[in-house]
């Protein structure tokens, strides 16, 4: 059986990205591997083994073109409104809260999106149902 262990994103400024993921999601540097032309920074929190891997290509000065293929990372939280308020107070500018009810039926998810410093989209979901 396969187990998902990380998702990698390329970031322009290591410190800025590490600070964002710590403030927003409590992810701390688990491992930092420094190589001649790039650095890998693995972030995680005590809630899960899954990591966000930041790749910092040394000498890169231009923001990455995220293209139209990237979707988003997703995190679940126990109290969506409280997290939205906390992130707003931290100046991280989360977007509006949304209830997702396909075809006008019962809502199957409540969430908001927030962008990291490099423009990567992150969905923050209320822990419920299949989102656990």
Q: Which of 11, 64, 62, 5 is nearest to 39 (CA)?
A: 11
| Backbone dihedral angles phi then psi of residue 44, each to the nearest 5 degrees | -155, 165
The helix (run of H) or strand (run of E) holding residue 83 is helix 80-89
Does 123 participate in catalysis according to the annotation? yes
Rg (CA), the chain: 16
Q: Which of 10, 107, 110 is nearest to 60 (CA)?
A: 10
List 13, 14, 30, 123, catalytic entry: 123
Catalytic residues: 123
């Amino acid at each position: 059986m396969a187990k998902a262990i990380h998702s990698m994103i390329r970031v322009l400024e290591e410190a800025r990205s590490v600070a964002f993921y710590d403030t927003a999601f409590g992810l701390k540097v688990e491992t930092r591997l420094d190589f001649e032309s790039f650095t890998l920074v693995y972030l995680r929190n005590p809630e899960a083994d899954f990591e966000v891997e930041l790749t910092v290509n040394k000498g890169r000065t231009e923001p990455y073109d995220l293209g139209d293929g990237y979707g988003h990372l997703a995190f679940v939280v126990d109290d969506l409104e409280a997290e939205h308020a906390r992130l707003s107070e931290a100046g991280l500018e989360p977007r509006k809260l949304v209830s997702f009810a396909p075809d006008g039926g019962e809502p199957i998810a409540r969430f908001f999106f927030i962008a990291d410093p490099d423009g990567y989209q992150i969905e923050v979901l209320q822990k419920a149902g299949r989102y656990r």
